[in-house]
Amino acid sequence: MQEIVDGFLKFHHEAFPSRAELFKNLATQQQPRALFISCSDSRMVPELVTQREPGDLFVIRNAGNIVPSYGPEPGGVSASVEYAVAALGVADIVVCGHSDCGAMSAIASCQCLDHMPAVASWLRYADSARVVNAARPHQNPQARIASMVRENVIAQLANLRTHPSVCLALAEGKVTLHGWVYDIASGEIQRWDEIHRQWTPLAEHRDARVGAA
């Protein structure tokens, strides 16, 4: 804990003063450009990976970068999606999975989660991805997990489309969906090309909207 406190003190004395004008402008308003949905995993830091400043991203983080389909009892993720789209008017929504994801590893390897019932219940929102992934051949367990990570991103993009705010924004051409997978070891990102139904390196596509979901 002391390291966290020391980190805050460093921020307050070094990082904050150099961005004082930025924080002054952000004190009473925010206009983020994108909604970024990623995993809670400590190794995945959206602002670091995308090199964004405070105020640039509206971020949702949870186990497995999951977006439950819209239902009669919307939860915190649904409320955050709705606020980002309907109130803040974000132009882009990124669902970003990552390598070595514990949540996807548990699903892909059929790990028993009886001792974590809340986690088990939450991961059922990835059932469609689990079924698709289980039906495909994989060379080894690592390939099965990597494939599960990708299938989950595609599944969560589909779940996003069930949200009324997202559906309306898509119909009006006000928002674009993006599926990414971040590789921790290499620092590279693969993007989902909805048009050609394939994953390609993000570095090869400077136009973010080409092949977007």
Together in a domain, 142 and 47? yes
Confidence band, pLDDT 50/70/90 cuts, at residue 204: confident
Together in a domain, 171 and 74? yes
What are the b/e assignments for 158-177, b being 16+ CB within 10 Å? ebbeebebbeebbeeeebbb
Together in a domain, 6 and 35? no
Together in a domain, 81 and 166? yes
Annotated active-site residue 6? The verdict is no
- The CATH number covering residue 112 comes to 3.40.1050.10
Together in a domain, 19 and 77? no
pLDDT computed for residue 208 by the predictor: 63
The string of DSSP codes covering 87-148 is: IS--SEEEEEEETT-HHHHHHHTT---TT-HHHHHHGGGGHHHHHHHHTS--SSHHHHHHHH
Q: How many helices (H) and strands (E) does the chain have?
A: 10, 6
Annotated active-site residue 196? The verdict is no
Q: Is the pTM of this model over 0.85?
A: yes
Annotated active-site residue 56? The verdict is no
Per annotation, catalytic residue among 96, 101, 144, 178: 101
Q: What are phi and psi of 177, to 5 degrees?
A: -100, 145
Annotated active-site residue 167? The verdict is no
Confidence band, pLDDT 50/70/90 cuts, at residue 205: confident
Per annotation, catalytic residue among 12, 43, 124, 136: 43
Annotated active-site residue 43? The verdict is yes
Together in a domain, 109 and 160? yes
Together in a domain, 4 and 52? no
Per annotation, catalytic residue among 96, 98, 163, 191: 98
Together in a domain, 111 and 161? yes
Enter the tokens of residue 154.
Answer: 């595609």
Which domain range does residue 21 map to?
A: 1-30
Per annotation, catalytic residue among 6, 13, 33, 39: 39
> Quick check: is 213 in a domain?
no
Domain count, the chain: 2
d(CA 200, CA 203): 9
The 10s digit of each residue's pLDDT in 66-117 is 999 998 887 999 999 999 999 999 999 999 999 999 999 999 999 989 999 9
Together in a domain, 25 and 38? no
